């Protein structure tokens, strides 16, 4: 009991306003590229749609065009705030295996909806919960009890746990897909790093990406 209380006491306070640091954050185009790379890794080339079997080109989807098609990890530059019209990680934005060349330019992957709504985070942290107001006014309510609770206007089940130096959040969308986040604040309190993994319904393994924030005020 004493160890648990000590760990909770050492958890950083994330309260305040945080603005997305575009230049040091992975964006929707980066995440799409990572998902394409993972899709090739998971499936033989002969079973992939034509637009996933080869190297992504600059004209395969608007996001890839802006990013430039380089596959890599974190901090890839050219960051934008949102995912430009994608949905909650459901089938409507996911890849369509076997659809062939007719959908070469249209094939997309399911992306977490938070990418459209997280350019500014207003955070209030309590003893056993974290409340995050997103760009669109929607609230992400996270109870730090290790149990899943409904949030995001009923669109997801959200689970949170507090650690000595971070908060771990798991978001399971009703339409499919799982987003995991580890929130870590810098020692000076001016930077917030959110290390994420995203697993769409169509994928076997998650991909890793990162969002970085600067304290406002």
For 2-24+113-215, the fitting CATH number among 2.40.128.20, 1.20.1730.10, 3.90.1510.10, 1.20.140.10 is 2.40.128.20
DSSP 79-122: --S--SS--SSSGGGS--TT--GGGTTT------GGGGT-SEEE
Intra-chain end-to-end CA distance of the chain, in Å: 36
- The 3-state secondary structure of 161-207 reads EECCCEEEEEEEECCCCEEEEEEEECCCCCEEEEEEEEECCCCCCCE
What confidence tens digit (pLDDT) does each residue in 50-84 have?
Answer: 555 443 333 333 333 333 333 333 443 333 343 33
Instruction: Round to whole Å and give the CA distance between 182 and 168.
Output: 5
Q: How far is CA 168 from the centre of its chain?
A: 13
pLDDT of residue 67: 31
Domain ranges of the chain: 2-24+113-215, 28-103
Instruction: Round to whole Å and give the CA distance between 67 and 187.
Output: 32
- The 3-state secondary structure of 8-25 reads HHCCCCCCEEEEECHHHC
- Total-model pTM: 0.70
Instruction: Round to whole Å and give the CA distance between 214 and 79.
Output: 15
Whether pLDDT at 11 is above 80: no
Give the pLDDT band (50/70/90) at residue 49.
low
User: Nearest 10 degrees: CA dihedral of 15, 153, 19, 89?
Assistant: 130
What confidence tens digit (pLDDT) does each residue in 173-209 have?
Answer: 998 999 999 999 999 999 999 999 999 998 999 999 9
What confidence tens digit (pLDDT) does each residue in 85-96 have?
Answer: 334 444 334 444
Give the pLDDT band (50/70/90) at residue 164.
confident
pLDDT of residue 91: 36
User: Mean of the pLDDT values across residues 118-141?
Assistant: 95
Dihedrals φ, ψ of 116, to 5°? -90, -10
What confidence tens digit (pLDDT) does each residue in 94-127 have?
Answer: 444 444 433 323 457 889 999 999 999 999 999 8
Instruction: Round to whole Å and give the CA distance between 179 and 49.
Output: 25
Whether pLDDT at 160 is above 80: yes
């Amino acid at each position: 009991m004493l160890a648990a209380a000590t760990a909770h006491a050492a958890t950083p306070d994330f309260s305040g306003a945080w603005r997305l640091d575009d230049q040091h954050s992975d964006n929707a185009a980066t995440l799409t590229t990572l998902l394409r790379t993972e899709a090739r890794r998971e499936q033989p080339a002969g079973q992939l749609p034509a637009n996933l079997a080869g190297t992504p080109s600059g004209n395969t989807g608007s996001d890839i065009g802006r990013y430039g098609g380089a596959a890599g990890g974190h901090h890839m530059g050219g960051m934008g705030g949102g995912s430009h019209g994608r949905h909650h990680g459901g089938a409507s934005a996911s890849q369509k295996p076997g659809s062939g060349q007719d959908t070469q330019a249209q094939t997309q992957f399911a992306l977490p909806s938070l990418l459209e709504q997280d350019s500014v985070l207003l955070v209030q942290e309590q003893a056993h919960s974290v409340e995050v107001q997103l760009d669109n006014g929607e609230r992400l309510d996270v109870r730090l009890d290790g149990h899943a609770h409904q949030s995001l206007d009923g669109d997801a089940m959200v689970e949170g746990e507090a650690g000595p130096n971070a908060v771990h959040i798991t978001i399971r969308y009703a339409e499919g897909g799982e987003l995991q986040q580890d929130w870590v604040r810098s020692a000076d309190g001016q930077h917030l790093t959110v290390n994420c993994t995203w697993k769409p319904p169509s994928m076997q393994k998650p991909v890793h990406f990162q969002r970085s924030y600067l304290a406002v005020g």
